[in-house]
Amino acid sequence: MSSIWSKNPYTGEKLKEYQKDTSTSIQEKLKMAQSVQKEWSDKTIEERCELLQNVSELLLDRKEEYAKLISTEMGKPISQSTAEIEKCAWACDFYAFNAEDLLADEIIETDAEESFISYDPLGCILAVMPWNYPFWQVIRFAAPTLTAGNTGILKHAQNVPGCSMALEQLFLDAGFPKGCFQAILAGHVEIEELIGNDGIKAVTLTGSEKAGKGIAQAAGKNLKKTLLELGGNNACIVFEDANLDKYLDTMVQARMQNTGQSCIAAKRFIVCPEIYDEFLERFVGATKKLTVGNPMDKDTYIGVLARADLADTLKEQVDKSLEKGAQLIVGNKKDGAFFEPTILSEVTPGMPAFDEETFGPVAAIVKAENRKHAIELANNSRYGLGSMLFTEDIEGALELIPEISDGAFFINDMVKSDPRLPFGGTKASGYGRELSREGILAFVNKKTVYIKN
- Catalytic residue chosen out of the listed positions 73, 229, 357, 434: 229
Helix intervals (H) in 392-440: 394-399, 436-440
| Residues in CB range of 277: below 8 A, 6 or more apart | none
User: Catalytic annotation on 46?
Assistant: no
Assess contact for 327 and 228: CB atoms under 8 A. no
At residue 442, what are phi and psi to the nearest 5 degrees?
-65, -35
DSSP annotation string for 119-188 = EEE-SEEEEE--SSSTTHHHHHHHHHHHHTT-EEEEE--TT-HHHHHHHHHHHHHTTPPTTSEEEE---H
Assess contact for 403 and 411: CB atoms under 8 A. no
Nearest to 69 by CA among 17, 8, 12: 8
What whole-number distance in Å separates Cα of residue 265 and Cα of residue 405? 17
**Beta partners for 387?**
235, 409
| Residues in CB range of 154: below 8 A, 6 or more apart | 127, 129, 138, 142, 164, 167, 168, 181, 182, 183, 184
Nearest to 130 by CA among 56, 204, 226: 204
What whole-number distance in Å separates Cα of residue 263 and Cα of residue 260? 9
Nearest to 378 by CA among 197, 239, 177, 175: 239
**By three-state DSSP, how is residue 110 classified?**
coil
With b for 16 or more beta-carbon neighbours within 10 A and e for fewer, the 83-106 pattern comes to bbbebbbbbbbbbbebbeebbeee
What whole-number distance in Å separates Cα of residue 377 and Cα of residue 367? 10
β-pair type (387-390, 409-411): parallel
The residue type at 109: E
Cα 64 to the chain's mean position, in Å? 22
- Please return the burial class of 418, using the count of CB atoms within 10 Å of its CB with bins 0-12, 13-18 and 19+: middle
Assess contact for 213 and 431: CB atoms under 8 A. no
What whole-number distance in Å separates Cα of residue 308 and Cα of residue 417? 28
- Which residues participate in catalysis according to the annotation? 229
